[in-house]
Structure 1
Amino acid sequence: MKIVDVCAFYAPQGGGVKTYVEQKLANGPRLGHEIVIVAPGDEDRSEAFPGGGRIEWVKSPQLPVDRRYRYFDDEARLLARVAAEKPDLIEASSPWRSASQVGRAFPGVPRALFMHADPFAAYGYRWLGEFASVETIDRGLEFGWRYMRNLCAAYDVVVCPSEGLAERLIAQGIRNVVTVPLGVEPGLFSPTLRDLELRRRMLAHCELPEDATLLLGVGRFSPEKRWPMVVDAVTAAGLQRPIGLVLVGDGPQRRRVRRQARGNPHIFLAAPMRDRPALARLMASADALVHGCDAETFSLVAAEAVASGLPLIVPDRGGTADHAARSGGLTYASASAQDATRAILEFAQGPRPAPRGHARTMPEHFDALFALYARTAPGHRHAA
């Protein structure tokens, strides 16, 4: 089967979506599928990947809010690029404009919408959550849910990587939803990689002794990740217990996060880690993963932490909460620095849970995803 993925969120310096796309390019040929990613880039070009997959870059402008990313701005050029591939199935990887454009085109070609983003949580709940409940916000955002229902109706199947998001879509009247959880790279993340010397060095960066608690945060520095709130919670908890935080990442809010952490020598901001084995060692060597985003559709970082035997301290909404429920992690009220402080102290003061180190793998995810797509596109029909 030839699968064309219109991936508006892919960027060479991206985070979780980039990791996922590269795993898709690796796993598709393993199962006999040709994978073509259509992504916004700095020029029109084709990039081949080992095994037969490739990325077709469509020249597109940069996003003003984060210049590492670009966006499709020419519908005709985008649709022509997709049509030229003659796909058996088209996947759109975001609920934004490009998904609407693909949904209106290509009659007779099977289509799947993969929910790599949760705009209601990332924007509506984040902006208005201080003043109203999720139920009230959803009622106020009925126009947005109407758009989402119409968009999903244009697709044969809507794929959700977490149960929580799937349940919310179904509750809003969207019926063609299937949950296919993501996974981690096999053989990379493991509790056996725990390195006490690395842990000691990280605590030294935080100006703390070996008997302190070492928390790890990994992710893009953008508003929906709520890193300033995490910094505040760690700082407050650190007034009662010796707690250090190593925060790995970069993004448009880096300056704000640095400013928020100023004055706390126990918080260390590290550069993004492109070396995946080094990240796996760091994860296994920390004491817990702390996260602030309640808008994750799955959270690869949380899955990688679970595979590393790392306990979770995460919000009670979004994909991270699903991981915490399955792995015995701690949750706190979303967007609440005060409750996050409570959860951090509960972890630091209580007995450490035994590492589990088991998580679904990416090959298992793609086995399930491509089997779903084979059922969605019987006969491998081609676009005209």
Structure 2
Amino acid sequence: MRIVDVCAFYTPHGGGVKTYVERKLKALPALGHEIIVLAPGRHDSVERRGPGALLVTVAQPTLPVDRRYHYFTDRNAIHDALDAWRPDFVEASSPWSSATKVAQWQGSAPRALMMHADPLSSYAYRWLGGVASRARIDQMCGGFWAHLRALDRGFDLVVSPGASLSRRLGAGGLEKVVTVPLGVEPGIFRPGRADPDLRRKLFDRLMLAGDGIILAGVGRFGAEKRWPMVVRAVAQASRRRPVGLVLIGAGGERARIVAAAAGCSHIEIMEPTANRGELATLLASCDALVHGCESETFGLVASEARASGLPLIVPDRGGAFDQLGAGAGLAYRAGDQTALRDTIVRLFDAPGAFGGHERAAARVRTMDQHFADLTERYAALVPGAAVVPEWTVTPRFVEALSA
């Protein structure tokens, strides 16, 4: 099959979407498919990523709230690109307006909506959760639920990466939801990457006693991630037990996070690294992962931590909570700083909290397993599709490909 992924929130600057896309560009050709990732960008470009894999950008405006991103405003730009690349199957990877534009395309190829984002949890539930129940918030957001149901009608599949999100989408009236969990990059995250020298350096930098524990936090510094709450909870817990935090990320909330960490010598805020091996070594050298976001659709970082042999401290809702199997860590009430502080303290006394995770780490699902399951579902909707031997495109894209 030739698959075109209309990926509205890809940026070369990093993040979970980039991790997913980069692996996809390798995994799908290995499965015998062509993959074209179509993203909004600064200018039109076509980049070869090996046999059967292209990263294509279409010139679109910069996203005002985060200038690292661009966003699709032009429906014709998407439709022209789909007409040019002649896909056997089309994905839309965001439930925003770009998905509506994909649903409106007049081509015959079947299509799937990938729910890589959970806007209701990221915004409405977080903003209004203190004053209204989820049922009441869903009523208040009836327009968005109507939008999701319209997308459900316009696509052949709605792919959810987590069981909890699938249940909510089904309860909201969507009828084509299937659950295809994501996974971690194969061969990178594992307990054996732990580095004793790095661990000693972290203990020194965090000013921890020898019997202390190091928590890792990884993710974009966005409001929905609740990092200021996590930082304050760790600072409070450190007054009771020897616990420190290494927080890795970047984004608009950095100033608030730094302010929340002020005065606590047991917290270090680090810049993200593009080297996945370095991140895997850092995770494996810590004692547990702490997470603040209840709006994750899958919880990729939580899965990477599990693959690294770490227990989890996660909110009791969302994709990160889906990762919390028996004995894999502890959950706390989402959005509750005091509950998080107490859960961090409780981890010190939890039976087997820091042992026995190596065997479970080997069973963590990989991204390649995810892509194999995903394309199997797609192939069932594209009978007789065959890989096109050469890229077949309109002249404008041929020129970009040759540049």
* TM-score bin (small chain): over 0.9
> Conserved in 2, the CA contact under 8 Å of 1:38 and 1:82?
no
Deviates more, 1:122-131 or 1:205-214: 205-214
Name the amino acid aligned to 1:263: G
In structure 1, how many angstroms separate the alpha carbons of the residues matched to 2:32 and 2:106? 24
Q: SS where residue 323 of structure 2 aligns?
A: helix
Cα deviation code 1:88-138 (max 9, x no counterpart)? 011000001110011011253201000000011011111111112222211
Cα deviation code 1:278-310 (max 9, x no counterpart)? 111111110000000111011211111000001
> Conserved in 2, the CA contact under 8 Å of 1:292 and 1:315?
yes
Cα deviation code 1:342-375 (max 9, x no counterpart)? 1111112334342231300111111100001101
Q: Please give the TM-score of this superposition, normalised by the length of structure 2.
A: 0.92
Cα deviation code 1:60-80 (max 9, x no counterpart)? 121111111110121112210
2:399 is matched with none
> Conserved in 2, the CA contact under 8 Å of 1:200 and 1:210?
no
Name the amino acid aligned to 2:367: M
Name the amino acid aligned to 2:22: E
C-alpha spacing 1:300/1:327, structure 2 compared with 1 (3 Å): farther
> Conserved in 1, the CA contact under 8 Å of 2:83 and 2:107?
no
In structure 2, how many angstroms separate the alpha carbons of the residues matched to 1:62 and 1:204? 42
In structure 2, how many angstroms separate the alpha carbons of the residues matched to 1:327 and 1:92? 36
Asked if 1:37 corresponds to 2:37, the answer is: yes
2:377 is matched with 372
Q: In the TM superposition, what is the alpha-carbon distance from 1:246 to its structure 2 partner?
A: 0.3
Q: In the TM superposition, what is the alpha-carbon distance from 1:377 to its structure 2 partner?
A: 2.1
Name the amino acid aligned to 1:22: E
> Conserved in 1, the CA contact under 8 Å of 2:14 and 2:274?
no
> Conserved in 2, the CA contact under 8 Å of 1:313 and 1:332?
yes
In structure 2, how many angstroms separate the alpha carbons of the residues matched to 1:281 and 1:210? 20
The residue correspondences of 1:1-384 to structure 2 (distance < 5 A) are 1-325=1-325, 328-351=328-351, 352-353=353-354, 354-355=356-357, 356-358=360-362, 359-380=364-385
In structure 2, how many angstroms separate the alpha carbons of the residues matched to 1:340 and 1:132? 22
In structure 1, how many angstroms separate the alpha carbons of the residues matched to 2:367 and 2:228? 31
Q: SS where residue 305 of structure 1 aligns?
A: helix
Percentage identity across paired residues of the two chains: 49
Q: Please give the TM-score of this superposition, normalised by the length of structure 1.
A: 0.97
Name the amino acid aligned to 1:134: R
Q: Give the total of aligned pairs.
A: 384
- The runs of at least 4 aligned residues of structure 1 exceeding 4 Å deviation read none
Q: SS where residue 37 of structure 1 aligns?
A: strand
Deviates more, 1:133-142 or 1:242-251: 133-142
Structure 2: stretches of 5+ with no match in the other structure: 393-403
In structure 1, how many angstroms separate the alpha carbons of the residues matched to 2:4 and 2:224? 29
Q: SS where residue 66 of structure 1 aligns?
A: coil
Deviates more, 1:223-232 or 1:51-60: 51-60
Structure 1: stretches of 5+ with no match in the other structure: none
